Structure 1
């Protein structure tokens, strides 16, 4: 019998992460080190800060180049930002793409704000469904004027595709998706998964379909964080996992803290090859699944100490 997205036999987010961690061959979560790191974190807080600590969950530091929450185009801006947040680093040993003296996610934020400041409505699907690769190359021009953002052609094609969905089905704005979700995070995640291919984060791991939905999770959490004090536009958010994959450095940090342990085979693969892990590959799913679960365990462990 053929499986499809609606017949997922491992549910998304936490259950999928737990399943991957149980079956993982090359990545292991070190429970004892989670406790050690949690103790170090809590030593930096006093009990009066417990409320602040809880608010930090699913809220990450936002650069100055983020849209202002009072900006009417902020939701569509965030949609474009998260849609284009993938594969922002070139192979090791080559010149990295930078913008605004930053690389990775911060460079992407800077370049999008720069474009909007230059009167290029990159938040508007009426504009970006017709954008040319040449124009996009200029928008994402690097600090050195020579290095292109990785996968420029693919980014252009993705903008065309998601923009057409918004124009054809959602009145040309992602705000309509939020309204149709009835301001419910679960519903909005489903709209992202079924309607927009870049957010269809599903793969087969050890014979079962799994969904980690890291990109969709990041966008929804970001919209919630920006509008959590707005009574007219506030998401009912629950059952969300961490937004640790905003800039994709988290697995490196978790490995440095010895919360994640990699097999020698995987470490040698990183050492011997500059090629990134293929999205949806066993190793990539193990790193993402174990990272999500480890951060969830770390957060729970920190709260238990209060």
Structure 2
């Protein structure tokens, strides 16, 4: 289990932490006026794509229809999210691209590995994988780019695989079972056992556990249709940082704004450090905004479902999942270009 190296600090509950971060932020600010407009756009988007939501739940962006075994799905998702960090290069440079950039590209690479008979979900395979083999599995569609931090990904795969083999019978399903199919217990297990899932920072003398990668993995495990994952969806929160370009959408919708100093850093491609004040402000304010959007969507659906038959199509959907999916759809399917937008760059193993 993880050694608590910051025992002198209290752990803040995340929803309270992001609210505090917003109130004290110096370089990131929120404009509430646009939230209502965006909430309505989310509802319209969900109505238009309601069949896809029901078919794939929160996994429609990376459907698992090519994997038939529930255990393999869980292990596949574990590897996918374990590798999901720092997929972007500095602005103005050619991005790693596997049929798509960022997280969708990683999904494509993982899907391609299955088609090529590479058992990338099996720790017996990936604990022994070589650098050349991993580079081939994660190869770009062109020969010019390589996935960022390849050596770090190789080490992390070896490390998590060894833990699964030694303690969890070689499958992530055992982690789920030992967590008693409980979301919070599984989040704790991920934090305790796997170093790259310890997404914790210190803010204002207290620990804040964003756990972005762990939360997105848990949400996807819950989304496997045939599982028995006992997740209380009332406590789910947005997994916004499954792709850390999402703040760019919030900026484009004029919900987030940045100080001139921070914008200048973006223009100069100055990387932000994990755990720095600026990085915490971007994450905290983004998550706080997503909570407010979720609340507004919830209120509008409850107010209108009796009078609007279309709302009945989406009333049973989980709202944080609905909001996240709408943002992902806008990101990946609406041909939005971010080359002219302020794009922060960060090297981190956590998201």
Q: TM-score, structure 1 length as denominator? A: 0.88
1:278 aligns with 2:273: yes
1:248 to 244, 251, 260: 244
Deviations along 1:106-152, one digit per CA (max 9) or x if unpaired, are: 11111111112212111111111111111111111111123111110
Is residue 2:10 matched to residue 1:9? yes
SS at match of 1:261: strand
- TM-score by length of structure 2 reads 0.77
Q: What is the rounded CA distance, in whole Å, between the counterparts of 2:109 and 2:183 in structure 1?
A: 28
Query: Does the 8 A contact of 1:224 with 1:237 survive in 2?
Result: no
Give the direction of change, closer, same or farther, for the CA distance of 1:7–1:165 in structure 2 (3 Å limit): farther
| Local SS of the residue matching 1:241 | coil
| CA RMSD of superposed structures (Å) | 2.6
How do 1:92-111 and structure 2 match up within 5 A?
92-99=91-98, 101-111=99-109
The answer to whether 1:288 aligns with 2:283 is yes
Post-superposition shift, 1:12? 3.8
**Equivalent residue, structure 2, for 1:149:** 147
Q: Deviations over 1:177-203 (max 9, x none)?
A: 000110010000000111111110111
1:55 to 1:19, Cα distance in 2 relative to 1, 3 A: farther
Q: Name the SS for the 1:59 alignment partner.
A: helix
What is the rounded CA distance, in whole Å, between the counterparts of 2:42 and 2:144 in structure 1?
42
Structure 2 portions without partners, runs of 5+: 304-351
Gaps of 5+ in 1: none
Structure 1 pair 42–83 and aligned structure 2 pair: CA distance change class (3 A) = closer
Match for residue 197 of structure 1 among 195, 211, 214? 195
The alignment status of 1:258 with 2:254, answered yes or no, reads yes
Indicate if the aligned counterparts of 1:66 and 1:109 stay in contact, CA closer than 8 A: no
1:225 and 1:159 map into 2 onto residues whose CA distance is 24
Matched residue, 1:19: 20
The reply to whether residue 301 of structure 1 matches residue 300 of structure 2 is no
